[in-house]
Amino acid sequence: MNDEELLYRIALTMIPELGPVCARSLVEHFGSAENIFKAKKKELSAVEGMGEARARQLKGWIDFDDALKEISFLEKHQIRPLFLTDAFYPQRLLHCYDPPTLLYHRGEADLNNPHIISIIGTRNHTEYGRQVTEQLVTTLQSQQALIVSGLAFGIDAVAHRAALQHGLNTVGVLAHGMDTIYPSQHKSLAREMMEQGGLLTEFRKNTKPDKHNFPRRNRIVAGMSDATVVIETAVKGGSMITAELAHNYNRDVFAVPGKITDHKSGGCLKLIMQNKAMLFSSGEELIETMGWQEKKRTAPSRQKELFVELSADQQLIVNLLQGKDSISVDEIYARSHLSSSTVAAAMLHLELQNLVASLPGKMYRLL
């Protein structure tokens, strides 16, 4: 990637009222940020969600000085910019409808680790919450899972520190730019994490940790993970936003049950009651639910494929699944170009024939 493309990528995130959904449509249509800025206004306005007003705004953009300063800042602090089309971009986010156009990553963690768990909870945790968090992280050591949280006080910090203690990479997702750490008391923790994981944000330098930035931060925590575990939270706690986002992204959500008289467990109990979260009982059970345990595949189940007559739609889906450990239903929709009802019918037939297995998070794999 040349510096000019990076300049355009950063500038794309600066256009007022051009959100991530619209930016993604532009990237998919034109292929690169440079092509977007060099496209004609008529071409831009024809892209879904753009319209003439946004196209005019983009074509009139001339203030590239801040983007140049951002590039200098990234180079000085060894921060890696990750664009939607980059291989190192967290691919799970691409299954969400509103992935960040550009992310900034400082550290060495693999953001596409095979196993990623977000651990979230209240800032004022109990001893019970601390113990459950530490036990969970200890169990996830067997999977070499990447632990994601928000670098906040409370459960977030407990999860990050436990990961560091057990040799697991851990990533803190920030609601501000990389030029500061919030809360400031976590500066030393953040430095440790940059050696064993890293920090991640979609916000440019000089962006303050304003209240409206935290829901945007939370969607990254929810979307980049295979599952989110809510340790403790009140009914109106900030973790409830992340849990709702994870649920809406078709991610697995687990909630730790607690006393019905403890307001710090109220949010977890509500998530379980509303069937938006599975009851968390142990790290081992979470691993089993996620299908992360190594399972032997017997030859007969694969052999059945030779004797089953498949329709063209069913065969197309089987072809998509071949050679992959698993694939999301969203990716099946995107790559097959079939309607949701056609995919649902085909998947049901394939499951009944024991050719395909359904996994947590609306993922599928061949048997």
One DSSP character per residue, 135-195 reads HHHHHHGGGTPEEEE---TTHHHHHHHHHHHTT--EEEEPSS-TT--SSGGGHHHHHHHHH
Residue 320: per-residue pLDDT: 85
Give domain 299-366's CATH architecture: Orthogonal Bundle (1.10)
Residue 315: per-residue pLDDT: 86
**Computed from CA positions of residues 357, 146, 213, 55, in that sequence, does the dihedral angle turn out positive or negative?**
negative
Residue span(s) of the chain under CATH 1.10.10.10 come to: 299-366
Residue 169: per-residue pLDDT: 97
Contact 245, 219 (CB under 8 A): yes
Residue span(s) of the chain under CATH 1.10.150.20 come to: 3-76
Contact 197, 110 (CB under 8 A): no
For domain 3-76, the CATH superfamily is: 5' to 3' exonuclease, C-terminal subdomain (1.10.150.20)
Classify burial at 216, counting beta carbons within 10 Å of its beta carbon; exposed 0-12, middle 13-18, buried 19 or more: middle
Going by pLDDT thresholds of 50, 70 and 90, the confidence category of residue 339 is: confident
Encoded tokens for 34: 């440079």
**Residue 68 in 3-state DSSP?**
helix
Give domain 106-289's CATH architecture: 3-Layer(aba) Sandwich (3.40)
Q: What percent of the chain has pLDDT over 70?
A: 95
Going by pLDDT thresholds of 50, 70 and 90, the confidence category of residue 299 is: very low
Query: CA–CA separation, 99 vs 93, rounded Å?
Result: 5
Query: CA–CA separation, 94 vs 91, rounded Å?
Result: 5
Contact 134, 178 (CB under 8 A): no
**Residue 103 in 3-state DSSP?**
strand
Q: Which residues of 89-99 are buried (b: 16+ CB within 10 A; e: fewer)?
A: bbebbbbbebb
Residue span(s) of the chain under CATH 3.40.50.450 come to: 106-289
pLDDT of 61 over the 90 cut: no
More confident residue, 348 or 268: 268
**pLDDT tens digits, residue range 84-101?**
999 999 999 999 999 999
Kind and range of the H or E run holding 229: strand 227-230
> Which of 255, 268, 257, 367 shows the shortest CA–CA distance to 308?
367
With a CB cutoff of 8 Å and minimum separation 6, the contacts of 299 are none
pLDDT of 312 over the 70 cut: yes
Going by pLDDT thresholds of 50, 70 and 90, the confidence category of residue 1 is: low
Query: CA–CA separation, 251 vs 238, rounded Å?
Result: 18
The residues facing 293 across adjacent strands are none
Going by pLDDT thresholds of 50, 70 and 90, the confidence category of residue 220 is: very high
